[in-house]
Structure 1
């Protein structure tokens, strides 16, 4: 008996048409974001301006992290020679292709945060490293070899530039594979992915130390980098799920089925638990040891305006996926996965909010149009850029050596 050739059942040359309501909504969201940012930056209220810069840093970092997670997903699938994901790889590739733009935006934000309005005032302020200054801070001075403006900016450019170059090249090689065929493109991607994963794994903790942990330079945690990486990875998987489900609901990618969604659901579920493990380990060790220079971090986050958000974050990012995704069938249902993925993206926005705000907006904090509008704007920008990129190439990597395995994937 012959084996049925599934390649004949699908149109692997189909391209996503980014138009209509999806495009309009993304553009409207961008306009809302621009309006919120403009209102904040042009305000005569110093605190409002401060909040706006903090929200720009939050969303710029989040935007870049999700795109970087797309590049990490592509490289990881390549190095592990995973066949199941070949049919949906165009989605994380589109996210990875947007990483250079996200990196430039974040670089502009951190540069302005150092110059125009000092987001990093805990280590970048006059006299902190001068023993003769009344503002001298011995602890910050001890970290000055690492925490200084030239070193900070060089590392930002080096890290994000490297990630962006690898992301761009990996996506380009895959697109060229559609035209050239053969195994040359795959072999190049495998080697580049292996190099990228080593670089990415060793440098992302340092990147998070610089961009986020240094907002409160007196405090440090050796687990902070992995805590950020876990949040980045969960957010990236959630974004892939949302795009995949919505694209399928629009009638595309018929070759992707509930088995592929199930695997994405397992990753989302498993790494939500891993995020919780790192979150708990960092929190509990500091809480239990009760060392003043460590507990100051969580003391700020237990102030009245942050404490409800602090506990809501753990409920959304741990309890919700635990209860909603523990069942096998739940991970195979599009609507359930879509809901949980959106919930977790919102939950990790809250997670980043708790990381950023207490160290940047020191007094008269608030929550309102600036926070919501900035978030909406960046969601619109991410949607517009990723879906525009997705629409430029065929949705299936038709010459991928593992595409047939992906078509026959069953769990």
Structure 2
């Protein structure tokens, strides 16, 4: 592992300036999101309030997942000692850097959802665990040692707190490396990343069990955690790809070329197939075994209002990347990759929508201002925070020991 030579062809002190239309649009989107949430909360209709909470959970969870995927990407590159990504690592670092903010937002949403009983009412409602109550539910009572208010919130705080701490420390070490050079920061990052990946690997399934699967607490699937992880990882890769292409189109990051884009394309392609494998395995085993306590989950999602979305989910998240990214050239073209990445982000929004809505909004469901506005608001917030973070540091980790290899990366 040698040190690299600086290449005079590139400006390694390049800084991104977050201004103009991008900043304006992100702020407008945030305002639209706040207005949509206020509309949903204040119109007085109980179903609309339930829908608003469900959409807040959807986007809060999605936002946090994408930021956590940024931290996972950074740690994975250190542990695998990957050279190809050294030139673009600032993007996932910026995503990981706003994980504490995303975590706090998600904690507020789940906390309010619990206390108002607009979320998690399947296991957190009066009398469910009291044998003398008419609402007593023996299944929920049996799970109450795990599914309870204090345990639920404690796990959320511990998991997201740990992810955030590691994300911040890894970013700080990288910025320190810029100033000091040498291998000291890299070696520390390697060790911390190894610890983080073990913690992350064991806790993300539990985090998804809590946050999403417990919305329908009678049902469970041991595959659910990996299904959520696959969605999180593909979404994170898509965001990294979009930010990279947007920056390149604006004239930044000239040291990143079609070979780096090709690698991102391969990862998106491969893990979209993995997502499909877990999706299909979870679905086919339950459908084929025809166990009433299991099939109720899919029965709900085959109601007329959800069935088209159920199948569209698999078309977008499996068939689209399969057909559009199987070709080598497609993975090397900015516009093709940008299209697929945006399509898959919309596809995984739909994936989370199908996971969350049937268990939270019981009747008179609808689709409109609240769904579109909330999604826009979080997209605006994410854009504003990530781009602001990117503008505060140089766009390349200029003393990364593998940077020279990344500049010469060719496949």
Q: How would you bin the TM-score normalised by the shorter chain? A: over 0.9
Maintained 8 Å contact 1:118/1:124: no
Q: Secondary structure at the match of 1:9?
A: coil
2:400 corresponds to which residue?
A: 400
1:180 corresponds to which residue?
A: 180
* Partners of 1:143 and 1:275 in 2: CA distance: 28
Runs in 1 of length 4+ with deviation above 3 angstroms? Answer: none
* Partners of 1:351 and 1:168 in 2: CA distance: 29
How far residue 118 of structure 1 moved from its aligned partner, in angstroms, is 3.0
How far residue 176 of structure 1 moved from its aligned partner, in angstroms, is 1.0
Q: Secondary structure at the match of 1:154?
A: helix
Maintained 8 Å contact 2:53/2:118: no
1:83 corresponds to which residue?
A: 83
How far residue 8 of structure 1 moved from its aligned partner, in angstroms, is 1.2
2:65 corresponds to which residue?
A: 65
Maintained 8 Å contact 1:16/1:395: yes
1:36 corresponds to which residue?
A: 36
How far residue 7 of structure 1 moved from its aligned partner, in angstroms, is 1.3
Q: Secondary structure at the match of 2:84?
A: coil
- Deviations 1:66-99, CA, capped at 9 Å, x for gaps: 0000000000000000000000000000000000
2:380 corresponds to which residue?
A: 380
* Partners of 2:269 and 2:15 in 1: CA distance: 30
2:22 corresponds to which residue?
A: 22
How far residue 5 of structure 1 moved from its aligned partner, in angstroms, is 5.9
Q: Secondary structure at the match of 1:56?
A: helix
Within the alignment, does 1:362 sit opposite 2:374 as a pair?
no
Mapping 1:89-100, distance limit 5 Å: 89-100=89-100
How far residue 116 of structure 1 moved from its aligned partner, in angstroms, is 2.3
Mapping 1:309-328, distance limit 5 Å: 309-328=309-328
Within the alignment, does 1:232 sit opposite 2:253 as a pair?
no
Alignment gaps of 5+ in structure 2: none
How far residue 405 of structure 1 moved from its aligned partner, in angstroms, is 0.5
How far residue 6 of structure 1 moved from its aligned partner, in angstroms, is 6.2
1:255 corresponds to which residue?
A: 255
* Partners of 2:342 and 2:402 in 1: CA distance: 30
How far residue 43 of structure 1 moved from its aligned partner, in angstroms, is 1.1
1:161 corresponds to which residue?
A: 161
Maintained 8 Å contact 2:117/2:124: no
* Partners of 1:82 and 1:211 in 2: CA distance: 32
Q: Secondary structure at the match of 1:66?
A: helix
1:335 corresponds to which residue?
A: 335
1:145 corresponds to which residue?
A: 145
- Deviations 1:310-365, CA, capped at 9 Å, x for gaps: 10000000000000000000000000000000000000000000000000000000
How far residue 117 of structure 1 moved from its aligned partner, in angstroms, is 3.6
- Deviations 1:148-193, CA, capped at 9 Å, x for gaps: 0000000000000000000011011101110011100000100000
* Partners of 2:241 and 2:344 in 1: CA distance: 11
1:111 corresponds to which residue?
A: 111
Maintained 8 Å contact 1:50/1:117: no
* Partners of 1:48 and 1:67 in 2: CA distance: 28
Q: Between Structure 1 and Structure 2, how many residues are aligned? A: 408
2:45 corresponds to which residue?
A: 45
- Deviations 1:223-282, CA, capped at 9 Å, x for gaps: 000000000000000000000000000000000000000000000000000000000000
1:194 corresponds to which residue?
A: 194
* Partners of 2:242 and 2:159 in 1: CA distance: 28
Deviates more, 1:6-15 or 1:35-44: 6-15
Q: Could you say if the C-alpha distance between residues 6 and 337 of structure 1 is closer, same or farther in structure 2, counting changes exceeding 3 Å?
A: farther
* Partners of 1:326 and 1:320 in 2: CA distance: 10
1:272 corresponds to which residue?
A: 272
TM-score normalised to structure 2 length:
0.99
Q: Secondary structure at the match of 1:158?
A: helix
Within the alignment, does 1:7 sit opposite 2:13 as a pair?
no
* Partners of 1:116 and 1:47 in 2: CA distance: 13
How far residue 100 of structure 1 moved from its aligned partner, in angstroms, is 0.3
* Partners of 1:40 and 1:321 in 2: CA distance: 34
* Partners of 2:379 and 2:347 in 1: CA distance: 14
* Partners of 2:288 and 2:67 in 1: CA distance: 36
